[in-house]
Amino acid sequence: MKNKIEHSKFDVENIRKDFPILSRKVNEKQLVYFDNAATSQTPQVVIDAIVDYYSNYNANIHRGVHTLSQEATDKYETARQKIQEHFNAKERHEIIFTSGTTHSINLVANGFASILKPEDEIIVSALEHHSNIVPWQMLCEKTGAKLKVIPMNQSGELVMADFESILSNQTKLVFVNHISNALGTINPIETIIEMAHQVGAAVLIDGAQACPHIKPDVQALNVDFYVASAHKMCGPTGVGMLYGKEEWLNKLPPYQGGGEMIAEVTFEKTTYANLPHKFEAGTPNICGGIAFGTAIDYMNTIGFDTIATYEEELLVYATHKLLEIEGLKIYGTSKYKTSVISFNIENIHPYDIGTIVDKLGIAVRTGHHCAQPIMDFYNIPGTVRASFSFYNTKEEIDTFVNAVKRAAKMLT
């Protein structure tokens, strides 16, 4: 069959069978899910892990001597080990379970409140998600420290020369996302970490958008903190992780008080538990943590090299096809980007395109993607963002491109 689109060796049709949701219909059309940068879909093995937990060993962890509690604790700690191995952390207790990236960032920001002084400075990038801006603004308000911003250029890349000029001995903390959620740009975090360390600043990398596409090695990166969410990498919502170097995690005070995080309590004094429990007050999302481990196993079975190669193929194909549409402009044109395409069509509001393509069964994100400073930079109200995952196909891209053409025709 000559007209069948060829994919690389990777068998996407087989992979798609792992995701029950991909066979559903939306507005009587076959679903095309291109909102993967907001949340990824869930494979059957992860759904099974969730059902298994509640069906067979639902219990509170680290506390009971009974069998169920032991089983739940073992599985939860095994999940922590899987995460440790995946990110290549040196110690298992350097992995803290959180409710997600935002929680992880706030945990670190809160910890730095007791470290920063008014003359200190924090640097963030212009490519940040709101969740990576607001906690630092709050921290600056609390401590009197100053917030500085690494600017971006028209291609959606950070201007590294400007980073060098704002970096100084006063810089205590640098926060950059590994990959921009709005534009897909892969930031040069290796260089950023190295430069920040030269002035003695700590570095936190937001890996929420990177982890679905690449496998970060926190030791090789020599990063101080790295954060991610399970729901962007085939896991459930409401769970994520914070990696922190042991010496940093020991330096930071606990974030929340509660059960699990204490060693000894009297009314006079409380001794905090050791890592990682010091940062895990209360009953955690046990099922979510375990399913996060399953999701990581699932993605590793496919392999991140395979995923990256295939998604690159989708990105190139979609970019080429979309640019055939008259008046279409892509925002974020860095050479180093993941499978995210943010675009607008001349004189058409992104909301209108999103509404029409939804009617055609296609899920894309429209709006400012919680990155208003980027939209202000381009002087646009928002964009249409299509983000692809390894379970998407070129046929779906064709369906999408035709839908956008149809929307453009209706709207002009």
Q: What are the residues binding other proteins (CB under 8 A)?
A: 27, 348-352, 355-356, 359, 366-368, 381-382, 410-411
Write out the catalytic residue numbers: 370
Q: Which is nearer to other proteins, 37 or 116 (CB)?
A: 37
H/E stretch holding 263 reads strand 262-265
What CA–CA distances, in Å, run from 182 to 33, 239, 373, 390?
17, 22, 11, 19
Nearest approach, Cβ of 209 to other proteins (angstroms)?
Answer: 21
Percent of the chain that is helix, strand, coil (3-state, to 5) = 40, 20, 40
**Nearer of residues 358 and 398 to other proteins, judged by Cβ:** 358
| Beta-strand pair 340-345/383-387 | antiparallel
Count of CA atoms in the C-beta half-sphere (13 A) of 168: 9
Q: Give the residues across from 366 on adjacent strands.
A: 384
CB nearer other proteins, residue 285 or residue 366: 366
Q: How far is the CB of 82 from other proteins (least distance, A)?
A: 35
Q: Which residue bears the tokens 């309590």?
A: 265
Distance CA 180, CA 334 (A): 11
Contacts of 267 (CB under 8 A, 6+ apart): none
Q: What is the 8-class DSSP label of residue 20?
A: G
Q: Which residue reads 């792992």 in tokens?
A: 18
Smallest gap from residue 382 Cβ to other proteins (A):
7
Identity of the residue numbered 111? G
**Shortest distance in whole angstroms from residue 29 CB to other proteins:** 11
- Write down the residue that tokens 């046929």 correspond to: 395
Which residues, including other chains, have CB under 8 Å from residue 218's CB and lie 6 or more apart? 87, 88, 89, 226, 243
Q: How far is the CB of 26 from other proteins (least distance, A)?
A: 12
Report the nearest approach of other proteins to the CB of residue 351 (Å). 4
> Which tokens is 43 given?
């494979």
Q: Which is nearer to other proteins, 37 or 95 (CB)?
A: 37
Is 245 or 368 the residue whose CB approaches other proteins more closely? 368
Q: Decide: 231 and 209 in contact? Cβ < 8 Å.
A: no
Nearest of 240, 242, 287 to residue 61 by alpha carbon? 287
Least distance to other proteins from the beta carbon of 376, Å?
14
| Separation between Cα atoms, residue 313 and residue 393, nearest integer Å | 10
* Shortest CB 412 distance to other proteins, Å: 9
Q: Identify which of residues 146 and 359 has a Cβ nearer to other proteins in the complex.
A: 359
- Buried-exposed string 93-126: b where 16+ CB fall within 10 A, e elsewhere: bbbbbbbbbbbbbbbbbbbbeebbeeebbbbbbb
C-alpha separations of 45 from 20, 57, 71, 351, 404 in Å: 11, 17, 19, 35, 34
Residue whose CB is less far from other proteins, 160 or 363:
363
Range list of β-strands (E), 325-390: 328-331, 340-345, 362-363, 365-367, 383-387
Residue number with CB closer to other proteins (207 or 350): 350
